[in-house]
Amino acid sequence: MKFTVYSDPGHAWVKVPRALLKTLGIESDISSYSYMRADFAYLEEDCDLHRFHEAYKNHYGHAPEFLESPTNRKSRIRNYASYQSTQG
């Protein structure tokens, strides 16, 4: 599975299905610095992306693959809702 990394001049996020975060057991570990829209989480590059990367490797036995999608403008991801776990 390949994941898209969206970046603007100030930050980057990887788009991940929220169901996958649950499968990896990290759904409640994602910070509010990440974003969400519909069924996807956009994990911020500093901590949450690393957490995802490690959990993915541990679960599947190999690192996830990433595709880069940079822009020189402010990303619309910054306007999405802050991430919130659906776990109670």
Residues 24-49 have pLDDT tens digits of: 999 999 999 999 999 999 999 999 99
Measured CA distances, 9 to 14, 64, 69 (Å): 15, 24, 12
What is the pTM for the complete model shown?
Answer: 0.93
Residue 85 pLDDT grade (very low, low, confident, very high; cuts 50, 70, 90): confident
69: enclosing H helix or E strand: strand 65-70
pLDDT at 72 over 50: yes
Token duo for residue 3: 């994941």
* pLDDT of res. 86: 63
Mean per-residue pLDDT for 67-78? 94
Full strand arrangement of the beta sheet holding 65-70:
65-70, 2-7, 12-17, 40-44, 35-37, 81-82
**CB–CB of 74/44 below 8 Å?**
no
Mean per-residue pLDDT for 2-28? 97
* pLDDT of res. 79: 95
